[in-house]
């Protein structure tokens, strides 16, 4: 005999009523950040544009921060990047072949980057 009591949804609804929030508060839209906008209902965690990235120590990526960075190199390699909200580069070492990194990189650094085939996805 199996006894279980699921309190998830009723408990959550009860908490919303206690704190005075409307039920619709569960379905508030996610605010757009760093240009991630689109029609209502669009999935914003998918890339809509891909370009080869040329590493540079001085120039930010033309399209702004990426959604993803893909290592299309033939061997594992290093990728040094400055993320959207950072000022210093961090080097990701031994990034495996075919890895998609879910990072918002505003610059891929030439210094410490050994990958020669990097794809940025926006």
| Tens-place pLDDT, residues 25-57 | 555 454 555 555 555 666 667 889 999 999 999
pLDDT value at position 83?
97
Which conformational region is residue 26 in: left (phi greater than 0), alpha (psi within -120 to 50 degrees), or beta? alpha
Residue with tokens 């029609």: 39
* 3-class DSSP state of 15: helix
Q: pTM of this prediction?
A: 0.65
pLDDT value at position 120?
97
pLDDT value at position 41?
60
| Tens-place pLDDT, residues 67-108 | 999 999 999 999 999 999 999 999 999 999 999 999 999 999
| CA pair distance 119, 117, nearest whole angstrom | 7
Is pLDDT of 5 > 70?
no
Asked if 68 and 96 count as a contact pair (C-beta separation under 8 A), the reply is no
What φ, ψ does residue 15 adopt, rounded to 5°?
A: -65, -40
| CA pair distance 101, 119, nearest whole angstrom | 10
Is pLDDT of 7 > 70?
no
pLDDT value at position 45?
75
């Amino acid at each position: 005999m199996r006894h279980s009591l699921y309190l998830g949804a009723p408990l959550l609804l009860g908490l919303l009523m206690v704190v005075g929030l409307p039920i619709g508060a569960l379905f508030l839209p996610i605010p757009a950040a760093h240009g991630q906008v689109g029609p209502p209902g669009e999935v914003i965690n998918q890339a809509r544009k891909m370009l080869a990235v040329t590493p540079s120590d001085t120039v930010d990526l033309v399209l702004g921060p990426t959604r993803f960075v893909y290592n299309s190199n033939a061997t594992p390699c290093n990728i040094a990047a400055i993320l959207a909200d950072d000022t210093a580069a961090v080097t990701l070492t031994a990034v495996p072949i075919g890895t998609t990194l879910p990072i918002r990189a505003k610059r891929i650094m030439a210094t410490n980057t050994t990958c020669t085939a990097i794809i940025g996805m926006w």
